[in-house]
Structure 1
Amino acid sequence: MPRRLAYAAAGLILTASVAAPAAAEPLSSISVPRGPDSPGYQLRIDTARLGISLSRGGEQLLRTASDAFTFDGGVATRVRSISREGTTVVARADSTAGRTVALRITPRPDRFELKWTVDGLAAGQRATHFDLTSSGHWYGGGETSEGKTQPYPLSAGTVDEPEFSPASYMMQEPYFFTSKSVGLFVRTAQPMKVTLAGGRGDLTVTNSAEYSSTVFVESSRRAVYDDYVGEVGKPAKSDASAAEYASPLWNSWAQYYRDIDQDKVLSWARDLKAAGVAGHTVQLDDKWESNYGNLTFDQKTFPDPKKLAADIHAMGQKFGLWTTFWINLDSANYAYARDHGYLVRAKGNPAQPCTVTWWNGTAGIIDLGNPQARDWYTGNLRKLMADYGVDGFKFDTRFFDDRCAATGNLTPQDYQKLGADMTDAFDQQGAGIRTHWGNQRYGFVIRAVDADTTWDGLRTSLRRASAISANGYPFVETDMIGGSNSMPPPSREVLVRWAQAASLMPLMYASTSPVTTVDTTTGKPVAYPADTAKLYADAVRTHAKLAGYLKTQVQQAVKDGTPIMRPVYFDFPADHRFDTVDDEWLLGPALLAAPMITAGSTRDIALPSGLWFDPHTKRVELGGRTLHDYAAPLDTTPMFVRIGAPGWAGLASTLSR
């Protein structure tokens, strides 16, 4: 006869049924009752072949695949025993490698801890595999790699990230959530491998002896978000100033790429001011340096950088520089950093610096694990500020590379935090830094990675920004308005529509001038039609009108982590129309953004329930329906104010002017 164990602890009810050896397919089940702040759930452990199944009220929420738990050279199979250690259920299973897999589940009212190890096996790969078809749509994870399509939701396409890592240039978090209000937080400081394809999800941790995760079980996706932010931390501040929220940052990259000099930059800045689209800062991007990592101006192209900074200041703007954390081997600073032990070391040969290839050559990486290296680097930055009137920096590249060896016991995640601490001492000028994997508390502006200068690039950049925001980084912006990626400049329509979409986001990040630019693929100048600058300026003015409203949203984000740009289903969880909508979002609680992000002059707009004021038509629309063929000529950015929401009256008045 089976032996039955029952107990109640912390409001949980557990029944574990373990059959005598002759019995087939024994099961264990955990039941968490509904509570004031939790919807309740049921969890079953499959003992025929170790796996789990999560449900609520008979509805399946999450289920592992048939090969649920795999490791280097093995797969967990039949469960041999189930026991209890306090409130933790421990299932021990055989494996194809002849080793015992120990699965530990600790239930709580709104989540459970899921951990597993392999007896006698050192650190390596541990993978948990999920059946996506049972859990609705999957979101989260952050950005997919450059050059890859970013599906929306993630489970609607293919995600294949063999280097999903704290050291990645992509904004990535080991956190996923579903349309059935389940969240999955993988607790690792090491690189992962992530694949979502064909109804299957594979989440693999590396360099670890344990697979450790938390599964949140809630009644809404917003509640799952709050759970995750409760674990990793909300922003302690906003790193951006009021001016940086109110007007654009102008960076030279997409305007000129590497073909840059002092006269071009000054002409570009003057054109922007004359066109009425000037912002708070003008930044020099790539190729202002004599060589990558030298942190000195190229005197051939920038003969008088102090005067350039003064000229920019005279226009009422700050002056900034792009800087990389990597030092090319042919730069003067490389030999100095190498000889002083300031570079990250090579794997397997600590006597040598690690060298890595990047988009501008071969380089060494400053070792932030060495305080002297950090102080040397930041000293160079402060010298640029003192000598030339530089106000701040756009920090680019990564703080570590998985091809290198970490110093001491540091992890790739530790290097993210070291980099965040170092850059936090400088004005990031609304460009922010691309730091992730648990760095929400810094409150940095986060820019989406480079995108194509096309309609697809615009949609991809918005998807990325939305994913970053839903991972707990509320101060987001797209890639440079109009895109970049060393492509021909965007068309007039793409440039204007991108500016309009960015105007309904927390910050605007710009580069391509709506007056004239250069097609760097041909070297030929490109002059936009005369009304392009006016349309762009209208978008900048729209964003400026939101300054007071955005200030309130920034304060809310610092108070409780509330994302400013968020999917509509965060505020309207029962409206599943928005599960797959990527061209509408909420900016705070009162503004629905529905910009045109495709060619054309009409679009359908799904309105959530309630009453919505249209600043363009001055009409009030009843929600809970779809507006078909809404007119959106090139001078119109569709948006709606939610009547009754906090801040709606002032917003409606301001946007109607």
Structure 2
Amino acid sequence: MFPAAALALTLMPSVAGPLAAPAQADPAARARVTEGPGVLAVSVAATRKAPGYTVDIATDELALTTKRAGEVALGTARGDTGGLRFRSAGHWQHATEVTDWRWQDGVLTLTADTTLDGATVTARLTPTADRYQLDWDVEGGSPDQLGLAYDLSSGGHWYGHGEAETPQGGPGVNQPWPLDTGEVDHETFGPASYDMIDPFWYTSKSTGLHVDTGDVMDVALNKGGDGLGTFTVESPDTYKATVFVESTPLEVYRDYIGIVGKPSKSDATYEQYAKPLWNSWAQFYTKIDQEKLLDYATDLHDNGLDGHTIQLDDKWESNYGNLTWDPTTFPDPKGMSDKIHDMGFDFGLWVTLWINLDSANYQYAADHGYLLMDAKDTSKPCEVTWWNGRAGIIDLANPDAKGWYEGNLKKLMDTYDVDGLKFDTRFFDEKCAPHEGHQATDYQELGTRLADEFDLQGAGIRVHWNRTAHEAGFVTRQVDKGTGWDSLQAATTQNLAISTIGYPFVESDMIGGSNSQPPPSKDVLVRWAQSASLMPLMYASTSPVDTNDTTTGQKVDYDQETVDLYRQAIKTHEKLAPYIWDQVRSTLRTGDPIMRPLFFDYPKDKESYTVTDEWMLGPAVLAAPKLSTGTTRTVHLPAGTWYDVNHGTVIHGPKNLKGYAAPLGVTPAFVNLKAKGAAKAIKALKRDDAPAASS
């Protein structure tokens, strides 16, 4: 073995303040390697901006334990699982004894045997001030997948990921928060996924993991209650990971944003933050026609249920992908558009890049080479199955195809006075072959650029996993939820997951849910509207006047109180809009999420790491709406001076308010009197009968 050595490095310190660019090098930082019985230790000294850390590398079985101030902050799995693991001939193997190592030019290179004869692992660990890069390969054995495995408990609680697929129905009705308190089993975790995801996870012990890949992953956290996190890349190529080591979870998040970028603008306008978007989907699903849409808009207008747009969702086209109207259900689309505009709403349409095989546009696109080709047979178009049939996908990497598709969209919008679009479906599918000279991951960027040319009306778009998606500043709408309490709760924790992987302009699924379930009960609908009023945007569909139960074909009428309380939630959100707009502008400077977990602002408050039904909206507003049955709840307040907007009282935290009264007309919310924007938040949220704030 080579002797241990100390080497001065040029390092990247952590960022304690608002992040505008990656941190500058800190020449005062130092890293060194020492060898002891059965262990190599990589030590990085603390700096003014970074806490310092040590990575202990067990040499009897290649395993990495990251420590900060002598305490374990993250550790790979050991035993039969193995920390650095790979699949060969359908069987899992892993690295074992370290047989050689060298420390040169700031890189620790390790060679290790494995459980497979003839296969070795070569790993390279590159430490910097607040993170280390871990790249590794398998030589021999013909592996087809490489993965890291962690002992979840070593990092405390785990967060990040985005929309999580779970055995309990996630992401539609379940989103564990923290992730380790449930189960995540996400086998097709990749750039082309319909789920809003990024390969980034962080922990309550202020460590984080970013896997740098464009390939599909198989991600599992606590699968079957095994206490493990496995992050497997379905490729034999070099596994590239960054492990962040910081003092708070917020600083880990900021480190990640330094890599992937922050929004350069907000796609949504002030009005789209201030007022709801009304989309027809959950109200009608595909049983929609011109008369129904106009009745829907009229009811909303006449009942003072404000909004900026009426957006017509699925089932207006003659066939999917034609971008022409079905004349039997929409005989006068221009007249319909005019009437919606006359009510003071903008008008929007749902569209997709997927063209069904029975659409007239399909054959035209196929004949002109405008469709993605099949990955297994590039002489024919790729055919994919989606919720509306079999289809081909426009190849956005073909300039002629993109121009043709955009031309059809713009003609449609100009002819019928359409103000904006809701893009749905994905821009790529793994069954398809990328255009010559392109990779599968390019299609997220190509889709982002296409959508950025149009007003998305606050419906946002589901693109992820690339820097352009982060920088575009799109609103992010969630995957469809159900219509019960479990979905309302999942919508809340899912927003926290999405916003803390770098997509700050979040909204829940349509208020009240959808997913072809019976309509929400009165209480679920009202509570959902109240919770959405304390989120960055409100995305609505189910009318509180009346709706349709598509499972029975029956009309469902809500009572006047439902209308009144929903209207009150809309007005609350609109009054809060100046404060929210301040947070939008702040996010454009810092990259920090608007809706975030309590522990981002109060990292020393241990109880906040497992709170699932509260969040911070910017630095001043703590939202604690009722998300379940009943009329009381417990509210956790961290340290600070809090103004209760419902009672006009001042409460000094930390404190748990047990049995806090929250009847259907009350939405618990509190304002930190010492935080920036407190006065503006109190003006918006204070009940008319509540006393003024005083500390």
TM-score band w.r.t. shorter chain: over 0.9
1:358 aligns to what? Answer: 386
- Measure how far apart 1:123 and its partner are: 8.1
**Is 1:139 paired with 2:159?**
yes
**Cα gap change, 1:652 to 1:238, in 2 (>3 Å):** same
**Is 1:247 paired with 2:278?**
no
Q: Distance in 2 between matches of 1:237 and 1:504?
A: 22
**Is 1:102 paired with 2:122?**
yes
Give a deviation string over 1:412-469, Cα, whole Å, max 9, x none.
3211010000110000000010011132110000011100100001011111111111
Q: Distance in 1 between matches of 2:112 and 2:622?
A: 51
Q: Distance in 2 between matches of 1:56 and 1:154?
A: 23
**Is 1:45 paired with 2:64?**
no
**Is 1:87 paired with 2:87?**
no
Matches within 5 A, 1:226-305: 226-305=254-333
Question: Aligned AA for 2:144?
Answer: G
1:6 aligns to what? Answer: 6
Question: Aligned AA for 1:190?
Answer: D
- Measure how far apart 1:122 and its partner are: 7.2
Normalised to the residue count of structure 1, the TM-score between the two structures is 0.97
Partner SS for 1:29: strand
Partner SS for 2:379: strand
1:421 aligns to what? Answer: 449
**Is 1:490 paired with 2:520?**
yes
Q: 1:220 aligns with which of 238, 243, 248?
A: 248
- Measure how far apart 1:562 and its partner are: 1.4
Q: Distance in 2 between matches of 1:419 and 1:532?
A: 39
1:395 aligns to what? Answer: 423
Contact 1:449–1:461 (Cα < 8 Å) also in 2: no
Runs of 4+ in 1 over 6 A off after TM superposition: none
1:612 aligns to what? Answer: 642
1:71 aligns to what? Answer: 86
1:532 aligns to what? Answer: 562
- Measure how far apart 1:385 and its partner are: 0.8
Give a deviation string over 1:454-491, Cα, whole Å, max 9, x none.
00010111111111111111110000000000011000
Q: Distance in 1 between matches of 2:395 and 2:516?
A: 30
Normalised to the residue count of structure 2, the TM-score between the two structures is 0.92
- Measure how far apart 1:7 and its partner are: 3.3
Can you give the 5+ residue segments of structure 1 that lack an aligned partner in the other structure?
19-24
Give a deviation string over 1:213-248, Cα, whole Å, max 9, x none.
111100000000110011100000000001100000
Q: 2:212 aligns with which of 187, 191, 196?
A: 187
Question: Aligned AA for 1:187?
Answer: D
Partner SS for 1:176: strand
Contact 2:118–2:141 (Cα < 8 Å) also in 1: no
The CA RMSD measured in Å over matched residues stands at: 1.4
Question: Aligned AA for 2:195?
Answer: M
Contact 2:86–2:143 (Cα < 8 Å) also in 1: no
Question: Aligned AA for 2:30?
Answer: L
2:529 aligns to what? Answer: 499
Can you give the 5+ residue segments of structure 2 that lack an aligned partner in the other structure?
11-28, 689-695
1:22 aligns to what? Answer: none
The number of residue pairs the alignment matches comes to 651
Question: Aligned AA for 2:515?
Answer: N
Question: Aligned AA for 1:464?
Answer: Q
Give a deviation string over 1:342-364, Cα, whole Å, max 9, x none.
11111120001111111111111
**Cα gap change, 1:336 to 1:179, in 2 (>3 Å):** same
Per mean C-alpha deviation after superposition, the further-off stretch among 366-375 and 520-529 is 366-375
1:21 aligns to what? Answer: none
Question: Aligned AA for 2:6?
Answer: A
Per mean C-alpha deviation after superposition, the further-off stretch among 208-217 and 65-74 is 65-74
Matches within 5 A, 1:9-28: 9-10=9-10, 11-17=29-35, 26-28=38-40
**Is 1:648 paired with 2:678?**
yes
Question: Aligned AA for 2:87?
Answer: D
Contact 1:122–1:209 (Cα < 8 Å) also in 2: no
- Measure how far apart 1:409 and its partner are: 4.2
Question: Aligned AA for 1:81?
Answer: D
Contact 1:32–1:40 (Cα < 8 Å) also in 2: yes
Matches within 5 A, 1:127-206: 127-145=147-165, 147-148=169-170, 149-197=174-222, 198-206=226-234
Partner SS for 1:477: coil
Q: Distance in 2 between matches of 1:654 and 1:75?
A: 57
Matches within 5 A, 1:267-346: 267-346=295-374
Q: Distance in 1 between matches of 2:432 and 2:235?
A: 14
Q: Distance in 2 between matches of 1:499 and 1:335?
A: 44
Per mean C-alpha deviation after superposition, the further-off stretch among 127-136 and 178-187 is 127-136
Contact 1:16–1:82 (Cα < 8 Å) also in 2: no
Q: Distance in 1 between matches of 2:219 and 2:582?
A: 37
Q: 2:465 aligns with which of 437, 442, 446?
A: 437
Q: Percent identity?
A: 52
